[in-house]
Amino acid sequence: MRRLACAGAALLAALASAPTLADSASIRVPADAPAAWKNECSSCHVAYPPQLLGKSSWHTVMKGLDKHFGSDASMAAADAKAITDFLDRYAPPDGGRHDAANGRITQTQWFKRKHREIPASALSSKEVRSAANCQACHSSAEKGVFSEHQLTPLGRRFED
């Protein structure tokens, strides 16, 4: 009986940490996010939760911080290491729908599927600026919440 309970708990834990979690609408920012991630990765845009991009894709991002999508996001090596370790803990494994060779979440299969009903022209319209500007449409993006029930007025306009 105790053995069964343990097996059940292990299964639940495995399910909870499985990459499919990112498919649910409630991706949360993990509680052990290091200060470097909170400070550095949220200064120019909302800090994208680690669950949104595959492991190797994150590595691509972290290796090119000096030429980061047209910006200079280089930082102290110790900070970059703490951030990479954190991303590694929660990133889905390679080979799934979260891969993007150029490190863009907005280019993943996963992102495209979630937004398949939104025309590309809307995602790059003047008000939104860029599909990567999650908080233009998702009111709780800073907490890592992207539920279709928590949209900004602008986001609601694109809802089906």
Partner 1 sequence: MKTRHIVALIAGCTLYAAAAFGETQQTVLGGYSTQAGSSFTPSPDRGRSLFAANHSASADFPSCTKCHGSDPGASGKHAITGKTIAPMSARANPERFTDAAKTEKWFRRNCREVIGRECSAGEKADVLAYLIKGS
> In angstroms, what CA-CA distances link 96 with 55, 101, 112, 136, 157?
10, 12, 14, 27, 30
Q: What is the rounded distance in angstroms from the CA atom of residue 120 to the CA atom of residue 98?
A: 19
* Residues of the shown chain interacting with partner 1 in the complex, contacts defined by CB under 8 A: 44-46, 69-75, 128-130, 132-133, 135-136
Binding marks (x or -) toward ligand HEC, 13..32, rule CB under 6 A?
------------x-------
Angle 139-140-142 (CA atoms, 0-180°, nearest 5)? 120
Q: How far is the CB of 12 from ligand HEC (least distance, A)?
A: 22
Question: What SS3 state is found at 151?
Answer: strand
Q: How far is the CB of 111 from partner 1 (least distance, A)?
A: 16
Q: Which stretch binds ligand HEC (CB under 6 A): 5-13, 90-98, 127-135?
A: 127-135
Angle 151-131-95 (CA atoms, 0-180°, nearest 5)? 105
Q: How far is the CB of 52 from ligand HEC (least distance, A)?
A: 6
Question: What SS3 state is found at 138?
Answer: strand
| DSSP letter assigned to residue 135 | G
Q: Which tokens sit at 110?
A: 């996963």
Nearest to 100 by CA among 90, 110, 115, 86: 110
Binding marks (x or -) toward ligand HEC, 52..81, rule CB under 6 A?
xx-------x------xxxx-x--------
Q: Which tokens sit at 121?
A: 């022209």
Binds 135, which of ligand HEC, partner 1, none (CB < 5 to 8 A, cut-off by type)?
A: partner 1
Binding footprint of ligand HEC on the chain (CB under 6 A): 25, 40-41, 43-45, 48, 52-53, 61, 68-71, 73, 83, 103-106, 114-115, 117-118, 122-123, 128, 130-134, 136-138, 146-148, 151, 155, 158-160
